[in-house]
Structure 1
Amino acid sequence: MINNFIEALPEKVRSTDDFEYGTKFRKKTNALKHRYVEINQLYKKYIALDLDEPGSAYWWEEKNLPPPTIVIVNPRNARCHYLYELKTPVYYTEEARRAPQKFYESIDSALTTVLKADLSYVGLFVKNPLHESWRVIKHNAIYDLEDFNEYIDLQYYKNKQKYEASLEGRNTTLFHNLRHWAYKEVKQHGSYITFQSAVDDQALSINKMFLAYSNGVLAAKEALSVAKSVGKWTWKHRYTIGTGRKNRGVLGLSDELSLEEKQSKGAEYTNIIRTEKVDDKIKLAIHNCKSKNIEPNHLNLTKNGLSESTYFKYKSAVENWVRLLT
């Protein structure tokens, strides 16, 4: 389990011994000497929860939930972090699909509610399970997201969140304030990653306005879920926002386009969908190699879920993903 945790970290990791003195990017081997490390945000291998109450290391048992893969306990106050490891990571890159992200976020939110975990925790930094400051409890358990449906009535928590949000309109307020801000902000960014980071920060800032509401602020991860939807849509439509051109249907095609132009746009859209599916296959094959601690080269990738034809047809994409994920 600990080896998997190390493997899932990027090569450069933000870390610190004390947040009052800030954080710093360090090589993985050096970062792991510090008390807190940032887990990978583009390649979410874990559901991370922060339980602020003393003696919460075994709350999962009391709530009839599956055991966390790693529980990292502060021996001074018995507060802890839960890490649920996923068999297949959820990607948060520009090309990643939103549906798996929403499923991940729903499970995360439901676990946070059931365990009464810290609503303000956004899942960035965790207690480093290799550091001597902490006591570590390990369970030989790795999950598919679907596995949590056996323990959690996900629809119940979705309905509960919708009901609570409707009482005060917090989600609606956040969504509309954030999207109008994002329409202007997107013009200041040259990459999706920097733009989405700015949207996330703004969403958390807007969320603080709800301190005056009877229900208080939204859970940080719920606010970030809204941010992901706003950021992805805004980035995708960044060239048409503010131009007066309407988005129609799935493709957002204007009636002013000729038949040939619409057919061309349709072909582009088909290629995007096809590319997303190919990217998912490539990323899964790389993940399979990493989980087996083998190099993601041509031979190993084709033995772990990627066909020969796909490898050679999309070789440049394969090489790009290998560089990004390893």
Structure 2
Amino acid sequence: MTQSAAACQGPQPSNLALFRQRLPRKPYHTDRFGDGLRIRDVQKALTSRYIQFNGPTHCYWLVYDIDRNGAVLDWYDRGAPPPTIVAQNPDNGHAHLIYGLEVPVRTAPDGKSGPLRYAAAVDCALRDVLGADIGYAGLVCKNPLHPHWRVTEWETRLYTLGDLDSWLDLNSYSDRRKRLPDYGLGRNCTLFEKLRLWAYKAIRQGWPDADRWYEAVLTRARAYNDFESPLPENEVRATAKSVARYTHKHFSPAGFSAVQASRGRKKGKTRRELLLPEVERLLAEGAGYREIGRVLGIDHRTIGRWVARIKS
């Protein structure tokens, strides 16, 4: 970027200021987990020690719970990338390590599955390197804007997924046929994949109206949200709403019949290609259509149509 272009953009906010800008409009928050979580306007929520850092549709921050004394620095010894922000408990040294993403990842199901899975693989691999708590729910973190915590800013530049990838080994998570671990962003991928595959079949059972269908999808989504650290209810609802809308809009009895007919044609073509050499051999030996049909288990009229295609 040229100096003049940077001047036109003006000064960039610090990452703590950016953390404030990116907060949900009405985040979950609390001072003590025993009191439960509340939802309030962000200005009031900021007075709490713990606050929701990502909304239900985008991931701006990857956060890791390190329950060890000296957590503010041992990422360096483990060969992990420097965190953007660290919020440390002054009493026991435990900390939340916060990594800021330059471009947020859309976690709603209408986002592209490729970037979400890539982000989930990075999330899982980074968690492994840091030795972070896999039971951490990932909904709220130590609020780095609250004076109770000892706060440090390390990396001033926000990360791309590629930046983080360069520090990590993603081989364990690169096979798309395998489910990602059921924590962090891996939960979003797993819930969406299981829910959409169920919905594609279930909607054909009566073709319900939109409201009834959403309730059915939401009930199933809640059942699938049986992770050790479940996804927050608002994320489950967002996933269910997106899957329900998509399937109700794009699936219909007429469309399903057309798909089945197309599959039937493809299946018939495949069977014809496999059996035609045997039909030709039997014809060369003098067998008739009925006899060939009995041998191959095919109606003799189908044999006749196949032969007519060969001759034409």
Match of 2:45 among 21, 25, 31: 31
Match of 1:154 among 161, 170, 178: 170
SS of structure 2 residue aligned to 1:112: helix
Corresponding residue number in structure 2 for 1:125: 140
TM-score by length of 2: 0.59
Amino acid at match of 1:154: L
Corresponding residue number in structure 2 for 1:237: 247
Alpha-carbon distance change, 100 to 75 in structure 1, aligned in 2, over 3 angstroms: same
Alpha-carbon distance change, 230 to 14 in structure 1, aligned in 2, over 3 angstroms: closer
Corresponding residue number in structure 1 for 2:104: 89
* Aligned mates of 1:3, 1:35 — CA distance in 2: 17
Alpha-carbon distance change, 134 to 96 in structure 1, aligned in 2, over 3 angstroms: same
Match of 2:120 among 98, 105, 112: 105
Corresponding residue number in structure 2 for 1:19: 33
* Aligned mates of 1:7, 1:117 — CA distance in 2: 26
Alpha-carbon distance change, 11 to 202 in structure 1, aligned in 2, over 3 angstroms: same
Amino acid at match of 1:152: L
Amino acid at match of 1:131: H
SS of structure 1 residue aligned to 2:27: strand
TM-score by length of 1: 0.57
* Aligned mates of 2:24, 2:93 — CA distance in 1: 29
Match of 2:223 among 194, 202, 217: 202
Contact kept? 1:38, 1:124, Cα under 8 Å = yes
Listed as ranges, the matches of 1:1-326 within 5 Å are 1-41=15-55, 42-139=57-154, 140-158=156-174, 162=178, 180=198, 183=202, 190=211, 201-205=222-226, 207-208=227-228, 236-238=246-248, 246=256, 255=262
* Aligned mates of 1:38, 1:155 — CA distance in 2: 31
* Aligned mates of 2:214, 2:257 — CA distance in 1: 24
**1:135: Cα distance to partner?**
0.8
**1:106: Cα distance to partner?**
1.0
Contact kept? 1:196, 1:232, Cα under 8 Å = no
* Aligned mates of 1:101, 1:192 — CA distance in 2: 26
Contact kept? 2:108, 2:238, Cα under 8 Å = no
Corresponding residue number in structure 2 for 1:307: none
5+ long unaligned stretches in structure 2: 1-14, 182-188, 264-312
* Aligned mates of 2:178, 2:123 — CA distance in 1: 16
Amino acid at match of 2:94: R
Corresponding residue number in structure 1 for 2:290: none
Alpha-carbon distance change, 66 to 198 in structure 1, aligned in 2, over 3 angstroms: farther
* Aligned mates of 2:172, 2:142 — CA distance in 1: 31
**1:204: Cα distance to partner?**
3.6
**1:203: Cα distance to partner?**
3.1
* Aligned mates of 2:97, 2:131 — CA distance in 1: 12
* Aligned mates of 1:104, 1:193 — CA distance in 2: 28
Amino acid at match of 1:237: T
Aligned residues: 233
Alpha-carbon distance change, 85 to 177 in structure 1, aligned in 2, over 3 angstroms: closer
* Aligned mates of 1:52, 1:46 — CA distance in 2: 19
SS of structure 1 residue aligned to 2:172: helix
* Aligned mates of 2:59, 2:237 — CA distance in 1: 17
**1:118: Cα distance to partner?**
1.3
CA RMSD of aligned residues (A): 4.5
Alpha-carbon distance change, 50 to 75 in structure 1, aligned in 2, over 3 angstroms: same
What is the percentage of aligned positions where both structures have the same residue?
26
5+ long unaligned stretches in structure 1: 166-170, 209-218, 257-326
What whole-Å deviation, never above 9, does each CA across 1:69-120 have from its counterpart, x for those lacking one? 0111111221111111011111233532222111111111111112121112
What whole-Å deviation, never above 9, does each CA across 1:140-160 have from its counterpart, x for those lacking one? 13101111221112123446x
Amino acid at match of 2:163: D
SS of structure 1 residue aligned to 2:125: helix
What whole-Å deviation, never above 9, does each CA across 1:199-256 have from its counterpart, x for those lacking one? 6643342x45xxxxxxxxxx868xxx999999866653246779697598xxx68649
* Aligned mates of 2:214, 2:149 — CA distance in 1: 32
Asked which structure has the greater CA Rg, the reply is 2
**1:68: Cα distance to partner?**
0.7
